[in-house]
Chains A and B, each alone.
Chain A
């Protein structure tokens, strides 16, 4: 007999559970060592409460009515629920507050893409610790956690969500063109970015900078000779980098084109890459305005790792068969070393 379950969900059997549990136990140990206390929050929340945050990309996809007709949603991430917890349960506590979580979140999927509807996230939120120190702490915990799981070749792409908007503002890009340009960058379409600049009547040095700067990524050298318009954001990144211990700092790839479409990110943003996986394992960033929307204005930073993706990357590294590792090329590993040398 086959009794189906929804696509994008799955049963996890003992063999896999054992491996996943080993990963989450390791992560939990690191989080706890850094004084992050684990929380549980309900999987179901009021839609009206979560809607206080601008979720954009990760908007809740599943809604139900309760007995009174109120709309409940399945949470799509843990950052917003923890912001609610802080405002509600810690209205007067002295910051910083440190929380970690291991929780299933729920996302909409496109059929037949094998995307998960239910995904296990592991992460931390550091509330009340402003940039650059808070950001540096989050990155440090992130690297310590990944190191502890045994992941070897990962890198952290570090950018700033305010960089491109600041660049557009200082280059006098018309207000009505900014949203389109930012969306094109969010879609990773550099050809489209050039087209949209042309359509908006932006040319010359301004257009060149708006296309070239977000394509800069690599070692600290990409921060040098930054155009004056982007200096503030780049200075922030440099300060964060300066606070990192060497083992963490050398994992960082600066990425001036890293933007987020989750609307609540305000400053530094980061993604975790590993050559064993074609997509990021996780990511995070600063969300200094989010807590204010729930009535307790505090700067904050956090990250979430996809536990299943981390599991796949670990297995891939172990076997040497991950996505970028197993490519049909004699020098498949060589190009990665170039990046590693930066």
Chain B
């Protein structure tokens, strides 16, 4: 039986990649090809498929992978947060601890333009790559916002005056600072999570639980070793 107990694992490319591969190596997986070839997507011999983090829940939900690793930010954005809501349906099994970063609401330094907009217009404009997280946060804090979804550098939106605030992920706050933005609110801390397909979780219970046990038994260093803090994307 292979290091992954015969399971297929969705591995995220990008900021969570190194932490994930370290973890798989600590489990005894031969990840040399996975590390060296960043164009290949499918590593059949070791049961790994690679993709961007936001695609991991999609592949795992469909059963194309039994397990996957992705950020809590992705799960919050794509999953149901209340029963009855529609979202990606996967099991969230383990907080892997690495890739720690914070979802924040930020606006231009100086007097908070978002506050001014709320006071004078009753609504703030807000740019984000995480429209569901942003909408939920504003609803829970009783504010009205016009949410503008952007795909690229979110920091640009308030600088051009298109919006008064942004909701984005940050590890160190450097990108925000360099763009003259300050954190006004911390919404939620996000780390890497292990997720499982609903059917695999039942039909491959023994294999998944054995892997979970081995993951839990890893020393803390092996879990987070070499994992760079996840940068605010863009």
Contacts and interface: CB of A to CB of B under 8 A. Distances in A.
B83 A339 contact: no
Contact of A335 (B7, B48, B79, B91): B7
Given A191-B92, A191-B94, A183 B66 contact: no
Contacts of B5: 335
Interface stretch (A13-21, A84-92, A322-330): A322-330
Given A188-B91, A253-B202, A342-B206, A278 B193 contact: no
A273 B199 contact: yes
Contacts of A278: 61-64, 197-200
A46 interface: no
Interface string A291-334: 00000000000000000000000000000001110111111101
Given A191-B93, A261-B83, A329 B199 contact: no
A328 B42 contact: yes
A198 interface: no
Given A57-B83, A329-B44, A331-B2, A338 B90 contact: no
Contacts, number: 148
A157 interface: yes
Interface residues of B, number: 48
Chain B CB within 10 Å, residue with most, of A115, A155, A324:
A324
Nearest to A326: B64
A342 B209 CA distance: 13
Given A191-B193, A218-B205, A338-B204, A331 B86 contact: no
A155 B202 CA distance: 9
Contacts of A340: 203
A190 B6 contact: no
Given A187-B79, A190-B91, A261-B83, A329 B47 contact: yes
25 contacts: A57-B84, A108-B86, A155-B202, A187-B79, A191-B92, A255-B202, A261-B84, A277-B199, A279-B61, A324-B199, A324-B204, A327-B8, A327-B47, A328-B42, A328-B47, A329-B6, A329-B47, A331-B1, A335-B204, A335-B206, A336-B203, A338-B204, A338-B206, A339-B206, A342-B205
